[in-house]
Chains A and B, each alone.
Chain A
């Protein structure tokens, strides 16, 4: 009995002990299911939900007039749910046929489709419509489509290095695509795939993408196109290994074109050498050579250390600097300074640089923006190479004066030349005109930025005269453009042979930088050819004609009135209105009192000045051709014609006065010129104009 009592006692003890265990289990349940539940919910959704990021719809990239350079188009992406695939082998074979895959891809596909532990695999992303249709026709189980978007560059190679491309991972590479990737990309569409007990996607919860911002570039498609075509022709004709051309509006710093050779088609970027993706105009530095003499001259003139008429001793073809003999490219003796530049005497500019001294010269170079990034919105911009003044050696000053011992980027060079063209302001180069959101609202619109004033208008006037002489009587005669006065400078820079540690006697870079019209520059153009071959391969032989072709088209495209009219209009030098028009970006130049008309109908442009009429026509998307000079006497299409973008518009001009019916007082040319030049101060009210109101 004693034993039974003991057993029963121990029974009680065990019952309580095991019950206590049960209580511990209950406590654990509460801990897990009440207190830690949110954490486990997260873990569960982490493993049972898959978020697929679909390529978002990138915003388009447009030229300054809204023409599409890069667009996003819908593309179907093909996926598979391996567990739903009946027969991986047969399915892969059918897909391979429809998609045109090779044997190794097909084998990969068999492996992918056999991975039943995965519930979602991409088969092929961003299919073209033909192949997508072919796959859809197959009606294979376990194969489905999701809509993504694919980048498409409708103009193919046009502005390829400016635009960049979009890589496989939907990130922009190079160009604007990379620089503004965050803005263009928008928010990725997310598809949350929830799986049922068999891990098959039962539902897709789509969080729609937001389309990225549209980028309106300052690039003008037409100028870009011609720059590329002419550059390619020149590169091919001269056998150059590379080349670039940059066109800039000196008043605003807006880049109108950047052409690169060799180039690539961003739709098929992988088929091209990666060398072609880089924008050489910002990512590569080159030794400018003689075109750099512009800035030596500018500094010397500005400091009053030299005048155009001063005769410089050019040493008979060489000069000794610190015991080192510098040979000129020709034998020159006594030259007026204007001819030192026009004939590009190295010794002549060395003399000027020596007068400036290294500190003063160095300061000017930095003021012109050399050795610093311009801040243009393009990736991989380099600051170039300009050593600090303290680290210049004995011949640095001399070398720099004619453009050696310095690495500059094309964009720096163009901006510096623009500072001469626009009356002395270094403008920040701009490639982005504005950003628009998906609804077309302006998100940002950077204003032109004048970095600093480098030259006085007086210096600019004198320097411009000298640079005009380069084209009229000097090395750059082939840069001349019919009807326009061009100012510029040639350059033939020997390439430094790093193997031989000296400047090559054969290979060189031929360049030309210039602006036009010289008296009221609308464009600055820099062209450069790397290692042109042939008998005549100097800057003046190969780069100057290229400049002429690109600049001529750009001037016509921008409806810049020829100087043939200008000769008559030329006001007395130093006239304040002229200076005002030249030194500051002139808003009036682009706001012509013609905007009231219906933009779809051809306005009556008769009686208008060439510039007004051409600007009005260009704004309506017309390709303007100006014939003659003076005022418009004939126009095609006729007033009131319905317009389409890209139509040709021929404006025939005549210097013989055409009386505007509503402005009987305007007659003699002299009076007209005053009106024209003073317009910023006294704008013509649109209401008084009968122009642009359709047929009359």
Chain B
């Protein structure tokens, strides 16, 4: 404990690089569209800049508060309570694009699902560390964990946001796996999840359409026009080639590509910066993964390990899901690219999470 407290600088550098890069790309992807839709080319960029600054402050705060002070039932359950309230109330907010996902306060919007991710990670780290010695016991250990996951997933799914519910499940599984839950439980969990997912997909036409669009975008486009998003995304990436069209030079980001500054910003990167830029993003996230997991590896306690690993995996898995969607490797989900996509609360909580990982990295033994 007498060790010098120093955070992982490389992790910090990767974070800063991704953040700065994200701002630049948001500018490129959104300026022309912002000019059209909001009368100012800076609309999305300035918001993103504001959120990034807030996020950085929050990150530094999170770094400075010893993560072990979070190992406190009041914090964990308090956050659980707050998250639950927000997730429930958001369902009664006016729908945007037919979903109840955002709180809007004037120009600001806030997605409680981002808080839910953090809350889930914190709860699982707290809970699984406490039940460390009986980690395979269903009732004391797994049942509460699955109950919380189920509760959050249900609320998120009600928005509806199947993609985020799926991400929550993925994070929870990764953390339970790390905590030492026996593999056969995952087989059971998997066996239980498949019918639920299948039901969720098959009962919503748009999800069926997304799956079809994923399987064969061109056929889906011809049949119902549902392949449009993916086709435009693939065209953007494909035309980028090795070196790209050049920064700000992309054609696809306007009109052709839906949400070029948020969920599909990676397509703009692929088009404008080519294989070089797109691959660098993958490498940056991989580096982030390794540095984050390194912090977890070196964490002095199970809480720190699970917290750091949970946050790192939440970010990187989300990133790779987003990249895979953009590249047509996964069906479309409304999942933003961490650090890079425009989106305030996502960026804020991502940076808070990074702050926690950096915090854990300071305590490496």
Please give the residue numbers on chain A whose beta carbons come within 8 Å of chain B beta carbons, in ascending order: 3-4, 6-8, 10-11, 14-15, 18-19, 21-22, 24-26, 28-30, 32-34, 36-37, 39-41, 43-44, 47-48, 195-199
- Given the complex, which residues of B lie within 8 Å of A24, measured CB to CB? 324, 329
Minimum CB distance partner of B306 in chain A: A7
- Bound-complex Cα distance A43 to B320 (A): 26
Q: How far is the CA of A24 from the CA of B323 in the complex (A)?
A: 11
> What residues of chain B lie closer than 8 Å to A11, measured between beta carbons?
178, 293, 296-297, 305, 309
Chain B: CB-nearest residue to A38: B238
Complex interface: chain B residues within 8 A of A14 (CB): 174, 177-178, 293, 309, 313
Q: How far is the CA of A11 from the CA of B32 in the complex (A)?
A: 43
A198 to B174, CA, bound (A): 44
* Residue with the greatest number of chain B CB neighbours at <10 A, chosen from A26, A29, A44: A29
Q: Are B256 and A47 in contact (CB under 8 A)?
A: yes
A40-B174 Cα distance, complex, nearest whole Å: 37
- B302 A37 Cβ-Cβ under 8 A: no
If A14-B293, A22-B289, A43-B235 are given as contacts, then 16 extra A-B residue pairs at C-beta distance below 8 Å, sorted by A number, are A11-B297, A14-B177, A18-B286, A19-B286, A21-B324, A22-B283, A25-B327, A26-B279, A29-B270, A33-B238, A33-B270, A40-B234, A44-B235, A44-B252, A47-B235, A195-B251
Q: Which residue of A lies closest to B329 (CB)?
A: A28
Q: Which residue of chain B has its CB nearest to the CB of A47?
A: B256
B126 CB, min distance to chain A CBs, angstroms = 15
Indicate if the CB atoms of B179 and A7 lie closer than 8 Å: yes
Among the listed A4, A21, A30, A199, which residue makes an inter-chain contact with B254, where contact means beta carbons less than 8 Å apart?
A199
Tell me the smallest distance from the CB of B242 to a CB of chain A, in Å: 6
Q: Within 8 Å of chain A (Cβ to Cβ): is B98?
A: no
Q: Between A and B, how many residue pairs show CB distances below 8 Å?
A: 129
Query: B251 near A48 (CB under 8 angstroms)?
Result: yes
A258 CB to nearest B CB, Å: 51
Q: Do most interface residues of chain B lie in helix, strand or loop, or is the interface mixed?
A: helix
User: How far, in Å, is B363 (CB) from chain A's closest CB?
Assistant: 14
A117 nearest CB neighbor, chain B only: B255
Q: Are A34 and B241 in contact (CB under 8 A)?
A: yes
Shortest distance from the beta carbon of A109 to any chain B beta carbon, whole Å: 23
Across the interface, B239 reaches (CB within 8 A) one of A29, A44, A195, namely A44
CA distance in complex: A198, B252 (Å): 10
CB distance from A369 to the nearest CB of B (A): 54
Residues of B within 8 A of A19 (CB): 286, 289-290
Q: Which residue of B lies closest to A119 (CB)?
A: B255
* A14 to B279 alpha-carbon distance, docked (Å): 21
* Given known A-B contacts A15-B289, A21-B320, A40 and B239 have beta carbons under 8 A apart: yes
Which residues in A have their C-beta under 8 angstroms from that of B256?
47-48
Q: How far is the CB of B270 from chain A (nearest CB, A)?
A: 7
How would you classify the secondary structure of chain A's contact residues: helix, strand, loop or mixed? helix
User: How many residues in B have their beta carbons less than 8 Å from beta carbons of A?
Assistant: 53
A6 and B180 contacting across the interface, CB-CB below 8 Å: yes
C-alpha gap A25/B321 in the complex (Å): 10
Q: Once bound together, how far apart are the Cα atoms of A19 and B287, in whole Å?
A: 9
Q: Is B172 an interface residue (CB 8 A)?
A: no
Interface centre among A3, A6, A14, by most chain B C-beta atoms within 10 angstroms, is A14
Bound complex: CA A195 to CA B32 (Å): 14
The answer to whether A32 touches B327 (Cβ under 8 A) is yes
A98 to chain B, nearest CB (A): 29
Contact with A along B239-255 (1 / 0, CB 8 A): 11110000000111111
Residue-wise, chain B 220-246 has the 8 Å CB interface mask toward A (1 for contact) of: 000000000001001101111110000
Would you call B327 and A40 a contact (CB within 8 A)? no
Select A22's contact among B242, B254, B286, B302, beta carbons within 8 Å.
B286
The 20 sampled A-B contact pairs (Cβ below 8 Å) are A6-B180, A7-B179, A8-B305, A18-B313, A22-B283, A22-B285, A26-B282, A28-B324, A28-B329, A29-B275, A29-B282, A29-B327, A33-B241, A33-B270, A36-B238, A43-B231, A44-B235, A47-B235, A48-B256, A195-B251
B285 engages A4 (CB within 8 Å): no
Contact B238 A41 (CB under 8 A): yes
A292: min CB distance to chain B, Å: 61
B278: Cβ under 8 A from any A Cβ: yes
| 9 cross-chain pairs, A with B, having the tightest CB-CB distances, nearest first | A40-B238, A197-B254, A33-B275, A197-B32, A28-B327, A22-B286, A44-B239, A15-B293, A32-B238
Check if B255 sits within 8 Å of A199, measured CB to CB. yes
B-chain residues with CB within 8 Å of residue A196 when the two chains form the complex? 251
